[in-house]
Structure 1
Amino acid sequence: MRNWITLLFFLLAAFAVAGIGGYATASSVQEWYPDLTKPSWNPPKWVFGPAWTLLFILMSVAIWRAWSRCRDQGQPSRSLLVLHGIQLGLNALWSILFFGLRRPDLALIEIFVLLLFLLALQVRLFRIDHTAGWLWSPYLAWVSFATTLNFAIWHLN
């Protein structure tokens, strides 16, 4: 039972970040973002909600699996949790910078830092649990795509 409660905690943490991002994004999506010049390959706005929902679930299950494996094997998991906490904070901060403050330039710098943390976690997760590493991969791919999109929007505007 404790293991399932821990998964719920990871899910709640991820969706708290989603809530922060949603709050930071809400007004800008309607008032500012539509007026920006975007590349032709910019996804339609309806894609982002389902994509992030799935990514937050996969991310939470991945970190939960790795944490559970560390706990079961008596390995330290503190650094894993710290990295995860930092990347969650960086994820929320990107939304605040890009949409809340309407600063794609600062968001671009920040998302590169986020990518470094995601890569570090990707390597760590694969070492701990291959399934967790694969579950983390779509998140890393999406943020890589988001970095490219952030750059394009910054460059075009």
Structure 2
Amino acid sequence: MSWLPMLCLTALPHLGGLYGGYITRKQVKTWYPSLNKPPWRPPNSAIPIVWTTLYTGMEYGSYLVWKECGGFTEDAVALLGLNGLQLALNWSWTPIFFGAHKLKMALIKIVMLTGAVGATMVSWYPVNRTASLLLTPYLAWLCLATSLNYCIWRENPDGDGKEE
């Protein structure tokens, strides 16, 4: 059963990802195409693959920190708490952007998320370098996503997209 904590900690973010995918699915076919978007945006088909990979890597990192700290100990509280914060910010972005169509609020949220991931990386590094480095692709993706969110907000100030 020593694999159970690894499986649980690694699988956890996928639950929020599934909910986000549910919210996004309809909007990608209706609202999202009506928005002005930069030509360098990733294709919609890449998003589920990217997020599955990122969620798995980042939360395997949380398992490594959890293991290094001896479980949910006093030493792990702040480290895993930061991870929980970034995960909550992550999960809240999709309902704001795709669900409520609040582009500016989503931009604020993703900037906060990016900062929380950076703080998580810094806090994890002395404990488990591999765990910290597993967040690098996530941070890079967030930089791209933040830029995309900004460009979409800038080009669609009302958030409703173009009239069809």
Match of 1:85 in 2: 84
In 2, Cα distance between the equivalents of 1:71 and 1:144?
32
Per-residue deviation, 1:75: 6.5
- Greater per-residue helix proportion: 1
For residues 89-108 of structure 1, what are the alpha-carbon distances to aligned partners after superposition, in whole Å with 9 as ceiling and x for unaligned? 11111001000111111100
Structure 1: 5+ residue runs without aligned partners?
none
For residues 95-132 of structure 1, what are the alpha-carbon distances to aligned partners after superposition, in whole Å with 9 as ceiling and x for unaligned? 01000111111100111111111011010121111111
Q: 2:10 touches 2:55 (CA, 8 Å); kept in 1?
A: yes
* TM-score relative to the length of structure 2: 0.89
Q: Percent identity?
A: 37
Runs of 4+ in structure 1 over 4 Å off: none
Which amino acid in structure 1 is aligned with residue 96 of structure 2? L
Match of 1:123 in 2: 122
Match of 1:35 in 2: 34
Match of 2:159 in 1: none
What RMSD, in angstroms, separates the aligned Cα atoms of the two structures? 1.4
Per-residue deviation, 1:11: 2.2
Which amino acid in structure 2 is aligned with residue 90 of structure 1? L
Structure 2: 5+ residue runs without aligned partners?
157-164
How many corresponding residue pairs? 155
* TM-score relative to the length of structure 1: 0.93
Q: Does 1:156 align with 2:155?
A: yes
Pairs within 5 Å for 1:1-157: 1-2=1-2, 4-71=3-70, 76-157=75-156
In 2, Cα distance between the equivalents of 1:35 and 1:143?
23
For residues 72-102 of structure 1, what are the alpha-carbon distances to aligned partners after superposition, in whole Å with 9 as ceiling and x for unaligned? 8x77101122111111111111001000111
Which amino acid in structure 2 is aligned with residue 152 of structure 1? C
